[in-house]
Amino acid sequence: MKKYVSLFLAAVLCVGVLSACSSKEEKASSDGDKASSTDNGKKTEITWFDGTWSTPVPEPGNEGVQKINEKFNISFKPQFIPFDLYDDKLTVKMASGDIPDVIGTEGADANYVKWAKQGAFLPLNDYVDQYDTFKAIPQSVWDAVSVDGKIYGIPLYFPSSGGKKPIIRKDWLDKLGLKMPTNYEELKEVATAFATKDPDGNGKNDTVGLGLAKGIVYDPAFGAFWSSSTWYHKNDDGLLIPGQIGKGSKEKITVLNELYQAGAIDKDWPTQPYNEVFKAFNAGKVGIWYEQVGINKGAQSGNLDIPTLTKNAPGAEVAAIPAFDAPDGSKGYVGGSGYYRIWMLSSALKNDDDKVKKILEMMDYMEKYVPAQEQNSSNEYFDWTNGGEGKGYKMTDGAAEPTEEFSKYAPLANFNEKLGGWIEGDKSMKDYEIQSKTPESKAFNKDMVGMLQKSDFYISPVGRIHSTVYDSKITALNEFATNELTKMIVGQRPISDWDKFAEEYMAKGGKQVVEDVNNLINEAKIQGEWKKAEQ
C-alpha cells in the first residue's frame, strides 16, 4: 500500500468505536472459555508477528498480554514492528522459513498472493463459518483475501462505505446564495464562486474553490462513474478498463482544467502534499475537500479539525456532498475494500486443529460489537478488552478515550490497536454522533452518516481477483496516467489528446493488464455490483 493510504486507514481505525457484546453475553463467553481449557493444563504457545501504528509499540510481556494468557489459557508470544518498517521485516521473516503461527499484513498485495501460492499460509475455508463475527464479513471481502478459491486470511472488517468523501462549506453556499452541486457543471459554478466572490468576507482574494493535491489526491470523483480507482467502464471490445482512461475520467479532467484556468484550484496543487490542503481547509480557506466520520478530528495532520476550523472561521458549517447523477442513470460512490489488515495462519498448523481453533476463537472474541452508550466500565467485555478504566482508557464527557498507555494494558491493542471496531456493517458509524466531543463535530458526523446511509456503493470486481500482471505493471501505469492527467489539468497537454493518451496507456502495459484482469473476472464469475442503500 502507498504510505499515505496506510496512514489514512490507520487514522480511520484509530478513531473507531469498539465492537463488543453485553455483560450478560460476556459472562456466558467467560464460562465457555473456562470449559474449553486443555485437560492437562499445558498452555498452548501462540506466536504472532504483525505491524502496528501504536505508540508505544506493544511489548511481549505487558499486562494486556498477561490478560490474554489468563483468559485463553495460552502462552501468547506477540512481536510487533512499527508499520513504517514492517514490510521489510516481514519479507525477511518469510524468507527465513521460520514463520510464526500468525502473520499480519495490511492488504492482499502481490506478496500475499505469492506466499499463499507457495504454501506458506493455511487455507481457512472449513473454519470461518464457525465464528459469529466472521459471518458479518461480505463475500466480496472473502474474495479479496482468497487465492484460487482458498481463504488464506482473516480480514479485519471495515465497511465499504467508510473512507473520505467530498465535503463542502455549507455556510459559503448559503452566503453566496448557491445550492449544493449535483453535477459537474454546478460544481464548476460553485467552486469558481468560492474562489472569486470572497465567501469568507475578508475583502481579499485568498480562498480556494476546490482542494486538490499532488498525485490528484483526493480523486475528485463525485460518483463511481467518474472514479479513477475503479474499473467501471468498458471499451469497444466489451472489456472493463481502468477508470483513469474511462469516459467518466475525461469529463472530470475537463472540468478540472476549466477550474484551474478560472483560478478555482490552487495554482501550486501539483507540488502540494495533501496534508497541506487539510491545513488550508482548517484555516478556513478551502471550500470543497474530503473527510470521513470520526471522533478525534485533528489528532493527525491529515484530518479535518473542526474546533480549529470554527476558531479560524466562526460560523463555519461543513456538509457532505451526495454523489452526482451519472449519465448512465447510476448514483453512488465507489465502495472501499471492505477490510483493513489481514491475519494469516502458518501452514505448519495444518495438523494442529486445536491451535487453529484457539487462534480463530481469539480473533472472533476481540471483534464483538458494543454500542456507544455501553462503552464504559459497566460492560465487562468492553472494560476488559480495553485494559480497564483509568489504565487502557478514560471516560471524558461520557465517552471512552484510549490513554497513552492503551497498548500496554489493553488486550485489544494486540489485535487491532484501536478503541473500537467497525464490525456488524455500519452500526458503529451511528455511534460517532453520540461520541463526538463538540456540537460542531456532532453536526458533521450526523450529516455525513446520514448521507452515507442514503448512498449506494459500487463494489469493484478488481478488488476481488488477484492478477500478477496487474501487480507487476500497475504502479508504473498509475504514475504515467497521473503525470499525463496532471498535464491536462494545468494545460500542458490538451484534452483533445485523450484518445492518444489512452492508447499510450495501453501500449505501456495496460493492454496486458486489461486482458488478464478481465480473464480472471470472467473465470471467477464476478462482476461490478451496486450495494443499495437501506431506506
Q: What does 65-132 look like in DSSP terms, one character per residue?
A: HHHHHHHHTEEEEEEEEEHHHHHHHHHHHHHHS---SEEEESS--HHHHHHHHTT-B---TTTGGGST
Taking a C-beta distance cutoff of 8 angstroms, is the pair 513, 467 a contact?
Answer: yes
Q: What does the alpha-carbon distance between residue 450 and residue 42 come to, in Å, rounded to a whole number?
A: 51
52 by DSSP, 3-state: which?
A: strand
- The DSSP line for 294-311 is -SSTTSSSSS--HHHHHH
Report how far apart, in Å, the C-alpha atoms of 233 and of each of 144, 286, 413, 488, 490 are.
21, 31, 41, 21, 25
Closest of 400, 161, 417, 405 to residue 295, by C-alpha: 400
Taking a C-beta distance cutoff of 8 angstroms, is the pair 451, 498 a contact?
Answer: no
Taking a C-beta distance cutoff of 8 angstroms, is the pair 460, 517 a contact?
Answer: no
Task: Report helix, strand and coil shares of the chain as percent, to nearest 5.
Answer: 45, 15, 40
40 by DSSP, 3-state: which?
A: coil
Q: What is the largest CA-CA distance in the chain?
A: 79
Taking a C-beta distance cutoff of 8 angstroms, is the pair 301, 275 a contact?
Answer: yes
Q: What integer pLDDT is reported at residue 240 of this predicted model?
A: 97
The residues, any chain, with a CB within 8 Å of residue 176's CB and separated by 6 or more, are: 193, 194, 197, 199
Q: What does the alpha-carbon distance between residue 345 and residue 359 come to, in Å, rounded to a whole number?
A: 9
Cell 510487533 belongs to 80
Q: Which three cell numbers stand for residue 41?
A: 493444563
| Half-sphere exposure in the Cβ direction for 125 (13 Å, CA) | 8
Q: What integer pLDDT is reported at residue 30 of this predicted model?
A: 41
- pLDDT beneath 70: ranges in the chain: 1-41, 295-301, 417-425, 534-535
Task: Give phi and psi for 184, each to the nearest 5.
Answer: -70, -30
Closest of 385, 360, 387, 358 to residue 370, by C-alpha: 385
Give this prediction's pTM.
0.86
Q: Which amino acid is at 270?
A: P
Taking a C-beta distance cutoff of 8 angstroms, is the pair 265, 213 a contact?
Answer: no
Q: What does the alpha-carbon distance between residue 287 and residue 198 come to, in Å, rounded to a whole number?
A: 11
Q: Which three cell numbers stand for residue 148?
A: 484460487
Taking a C-beta distance cutoff of 8 angstroms, is the pair 76, 69 a contact?
Answer: yes
**Using H for helix, E for strand and C for coil, what is the string for 333-396?**
EECCCCEEEEEEEEHHHCCCHHHHHHHHHHHHHCCCCCCHHHCCCCCHHHHHHCCCECCCEEEE
* CA 58 and chain centroid, separation: 23
The strand pairing partners of 404, in sequence order, are: none
Q: What integer pLDDT is reported at residue 29 of this predicted model?
A: 40
Closest of 321, 358, 339, 17 to residue 165, by C-alpha: 321
Q: What integer pLDDT is reported at residue 21 of this predicted model?
A: 35
Q: What integer pLDDT is reported at residue 35 of this predicted model?
A: 36
Q: What does the alpha-carbon distance between residue 253 and residue 271 come to, in Å, rounded to a whole number?
A: 18
Phi-psi region at 527: left, alpha or beta (left = phi > 0; alpha = psi -120 to 50): beta
Q: What does the alpha-carbon distance between residue 57 and residue 405 come to, in Å, rounded to a whole number?
A: 10
Q: What integer pLDDT is reported at residue 72 of this predicted model?
A: 97
Q: What does the alpha-carbon distance between residue 349 and residue 120 come to, in Å, rounded to a whole number?
A: 10
Closest of 158, 99, 154 to residue 359, by C-alpha: 154
